[in-house]
Structure 1
Amino acid sequence: MRFVIIGAGAVGGVVAGRLAGSGADVALVARGAHLEAIRRDGLLLRQASGDSVHRLPAYATPGEVGWRPGDVAVLAVKSNDTQGVLEQLPRDVPVVCLQNGVANERAALRLFPDVYGICVMLPSAHLEPGVVVAQCAPVPGILDIGRVPGGTDETAREIAARLTKAGFVSEARDDIMRSKYAKLLKNLGNAAEALCGKADGVDEVAAVLGAEGRAVLDAAGIGYASDAEDKARRGDILQLVPVAGETRGGGSTWQSLARGTGAVEADYLNGEIVLLARLHGVPAPANETARRLVVAAAHRGDGPGSMTPAELKAAIDAATR
Structure 2
Amino acid sequence: MRIAMVGAGGVGGYFGTRLAVAGNEVTFVARGRHLEAIRRDGLEIRSPLGAFRAPANSAVASISELGPVDLVIVAVKLWDTDDVAAQLRPAVDRGARVLSLQNGVHKDMILRRHLPDEAVLGGACYISAFIQEPGVVTHNGTLQKVVFGDYQQEQTPLARAFLAACHAAGIEAEISSDIERLIWEKFVFLVGLSATTTAIRQPIGAVRAHPRSRALLRDLMAEVIAVGQASGVQLDEKFADDRLAFCDTLPAGMTSSMHNDLEHGNRLELPWLSGGVAELATRMGISVPRNQAVADILAPYELGGPAMD
Q: Which residue of 2 aligns with 1:43?
A: 43
Alignment of structure 1 residues 1-321 onto 2, 5 Å: 1-56=1-56, 57-65=58-66, 67-68=67-68, 70-89=69-88, 90=90, 91-92=92-93, 93-113=96-116, 114-137=119-142, 140-148=143-151, 150-188=153-191, 189-195=193-199, 196-198=201-203, 201-203=206-208, 204=214, 205-224=216-235, 227=239, 250-261=255-266, 263-303=267-307
- Paired amino acid for 1:75: V
* Structure 1, 93-102 or 32-41: larger mean CA deviation: 32-41
Give the whole-Å Cα distance in 1 for the aligned partners of 2:127 and 2:86. 27
- Paired amino acid for 1:190: S
Q: Tell me, yes or no, if the aligned pair for 1:38 and 1:58 is still in contact at 8 Å.
A: yes
Give the whole-Å Cα distance in 2 for the aligned partners of 1:248 and 1:32. 31
TM-score normalised by the chain length of structure 2: 0.83
Label 1:126 to 1:207 Cα distance change in 2 as closer, same or farther (>3 A): farther
Give the whole-Å Cα distance in 2 for the aligned partners of 1:190 and 1:277. 18
CA-CA distance at 1:118 after TM superposition: 1.4
Label 1:95 to 1:178 Cα distance change in 2 as closer, same or farther (>3 A): same
What secondary structure does 1:133 align onto?
strand
What secondary structure does 1:141 align onto?
strand
Residues 2-51 of structure 1, C-alpha deviations (whole Å, 9 max, x = no match): 11000111111110111112121111011222222222322110011443
Supply the RMSD in Å over aligned alpha carbons.
Answer: 2.7
CA-CA distance at 1:249 after TM superposition: 5.8
TM-score normalised by the chain length of structure 1: 0.80
- Paired amino acid for 1:58: A
Label 1:174 to 1:168 Cα distance change in 2 as closer, same or farther (>3 A): same
User: What is the percent sequence identity of the aligned residues?
Assistant: 32
Where relative contact order (Cα < 8 A, 6+ residues apart) is larger, the structure is 1
Query: Greater strand share, 1 or 2?
Result: 2
Give the whole-Å Cα distance in 1 for the aligned partners of 2:101 and 2:277. 20
CA-CA distance at 1:216 after TM superposition: 2.5
Label 1:239 to 1:28 Cα distance change in 2 as closer, same or farther (>3 A): farther
Q: Tell me, yes or no, if the aligned pair for 1:146 and 1:174 is still in contact at 8 Å.
A: yes
* Runs of 5+ consecutive residues of structure 1 not aligned to the other structure: 241-246, 307-321
CA-CA distance at 1:284 after TM superposition: 1.4
- Paired amino acid for 2:128: P
